[in-house]
Amino acid sequence: MLKRLYYVLPDVSRATHMFHDLLLAQVEARRIHVMAKPGVDLGDMPEAGLNQRTDVLHGAVQGIVSGGATGAALGLYLYQFPPEGMLVPMAAILLMALLGASFGAWAASLIGLDVPNTQLERFEKAIDQGKVLMMIDVSRQDMKKIETIIHNQDPDAVAKGVEPTMPAFP
């Protein structure tokens, strides 16, 4: 399982140096996400995408769980109390659960696209002040190595926490 490390860097220049140091340490570029104030040129650094900036993934997981449970309940109801003259097979429960999970994921992820990532609220002030947020997804065994590289290369980089890249439960 990957963990996400958050670092706040003073400016784009220092963030660029850090990005290149991480690449030299064999961290894949797709595992690094950078956020800055709108309009700031990040150069060759990978800008944080929708998955990092919004709650789309969190919303999709919640939608799958709630839609699947609702669909299964409706399928069970139809199985127990079928419409008059119809025979509802037990597979209807599974089918309704799958349909509910699919619809729930779709609807909740659309909502999640419009909701800023709640994990990033604590960084808004720093980003507005011109600082750069770097998110690095690393395996648990590589965490200490990456943290050491960051602190050796830029002592002003401020560690702002570690968390799983995807919550286990919504």
Kindly give, in sequence order, each residue whose CB lies less than 8 Å from that of residue 63, ignoring residues fewer than 6 positions away. Answer: 101, 103, 104, 105, 106, 107, 108, 109
pLDDT band at 168 (very low <50, low <70, confident <90, very high): very low
Question: pLDDT tens digits for 128-153?
Answer: 898 899 888 888 888 888 888 888 77
Cα angle value 153/157/159 (rounded, 5°):
120
What was the pLDDT predicted at 57?
A: 83
pLDDT in tens, 99-129: 999 999 999 999 888 888 877 888 888 888 9
Please, what are the domains in the chain?
Answer: 2-54+117-164 (3.30.70.120), 56-113 (no CATH)
Q: Which residue has the higher pLDDT, 52 or 46?
A: 46
Residue 51 in this model has a pLDDT that exceeds 70: yes
